[in-house]
Amino acid sequence: MNKPSPNRRHFSMIRGFHLADWFTLANAFCGTGAIFAAMRFLQDGVVSDLLVGMALIPAAFIFDALDGRVARWRQSSSTLGRELDSLADVISFGVAPAALAYACGLQGGWDWAVLSYFVGCGVSRLARYNVTAEQLSGGGDKVKYFEGTPIPTSLVLVVVLAAAAWQGAIGENVWLGMLQLGPWQFHPLVLMFALSGSLMISKTLHIPKP
């Protein structure tokens, strides 16, 4: 009986992960936990669950920063690692902030549209970065600047939501109130997500990469 080749062994993909990839997966783990925390809050109404979910986003940010540093230290960057990083960022800095915003009370029809736009901008921004990274590096090993704001900047949005939740300004008491526009409700606070998403997909805004 022939033995499977080394590259076809069970869990061979996981065995091939670099140390930096595990930090990236920790980023995704935190983002997923934040989404579950938002769902738990909607189910039970316990604000501490919501705050725990919000606290996981800064943790995801730390893991996101560390994976690049570890990759450079170990000289182990790879295409797989870059793709993992983008997918983790979509969860932690795209879907999770939108889910937390929804849990905080941005639940009107117009809010859904804006939050979906925000996530779509984040996905588009990461896809563009992956495609143009080599071009932006100018033939070197490092990208010199970001086109548009990086998606982890959505951490600022989560900080604002955390401050609102801490003060009890969620649900019917959400900051800036609510407007009825046609058939749907609209909470002006959601406009910060519209602004963040628009800045992410900007091609004229260049931010030097540290």
Q: Which domain holds residue 179?
A: 17-208
Q: Do the Cβ atoms of 20 and 76 come closer than 8 Å?
A: yes
For 146-150, what is the mean pLDDT?
A: 86
Residue 90 domain-assigned (yes or no)? yes
Residue 47 domain-assigned (yes or no)? yes
For 173-180, what is the mean pLDDT?
A: 96
For 129-150, what is the mean pLDDT?
A: 68
Total count of domains within the chain: 1
How far apart, in whole angstroms, are the C-alpha atoms of residue 75 and residue 186? Answer: 48
Instruction: Summarize pLDDT for 66-116 with one digit per residue, the tens.
Output: 877 775 655 556 666 678 888 999 999 999 999 999 999 999 999 999 999
Residue 91 domain-assigned (yes or no)? yes
Res 140 pLDDT > 60: no
What is the predicted pLDDT for the residue at 23? 86
3 secondary structure, DSSP code: P
Residue 8 domain-assigned (yes or no)? no
For 179-203, what is the mean pLDDT?
A: 96
Kindly state the tokens that stand for 80: 């797989």
Instruction: Summarize pLDDT for 16-53 with one digit per residue, the tens.
Output: 566 677 889 999 999 999 999 999 999 999 999 999 99
How far apart, in whole angstroms, are the C-alpha atoms of residue 122 and residue 100? Answer: 16
Q: What is the 3-state secondary structure (H, E, C) of 70-104?
A: HHHHHCCCCHHHHHHHHHHHHHHHHHHHHHHHHHH
CATH of the domain at 89: 1.20.120.1760
Residue 12 domain-assigned (yes or no)? no
> What is the value of pTM for the model shown?
0.86
Residue 4 domain-assigned (yes or no)? no
What is the predicted pLDDT for the residue at 83? 82
Res 4 pLDDT > 70: no
